[in-house]
Structure 1
């Protein structure tokens, strides 16, 4: 003879008082639903100072996200240009306005450092 003890499980919300669910009630006193207002983009690019101590009037100005170029396209152009500088096929001076002075000095140091460079099929 087999006997089974069936246990019933009761789900209890961890965020609300269980007494609220013990009897049917209209939502007359429920808190009003919060309406979320769509905000414009608040992402700002603040360039790094790379350890330089700048005066208040020399500090980089934050750039609004709406005035920045499309990130993926700009990054792909920059990567291809850096690889061309490393291969000695592009002058590093063409990238001076695209990056910080410290990064540009690293590009100058490494320009033409690759003896042979492969063909770029895709950059992900």
Structure 2
């Protein structure tokens, strides 16, 4: 039974994410791809630290001055709040609670989009 509940929750989260991303911005998919790529790059740089600390700081400094890293930090900051609201949405027992969570998620993503657009100027 848990297997089916987990699967239905996963599908519901994916649908919620798709719909709220679409309402926030058409560029959301592109920014999320860039976020994942930058996240992978940060992980690679962290692995360098154990072998060559000077190289680690050099690579990190290079990354931190890019607009991609700025956008990565913005998305990372909002992601925690959006994830918390998504969990709340999944646990909601009334349509009003679910609608409230959805509106809050859309609001957060809209704020995030405004910040992301400022990094492109």
Q: Under a length normalisation based on structure 2, what TM-score does the superposition of the two structures give?
A: 0.25
Rg larger for: 1
Which structure carries more helix by proportion?
2
If asked which structure has higher relative contact order (CA below 8 Å, sep 6+), I would say: 2
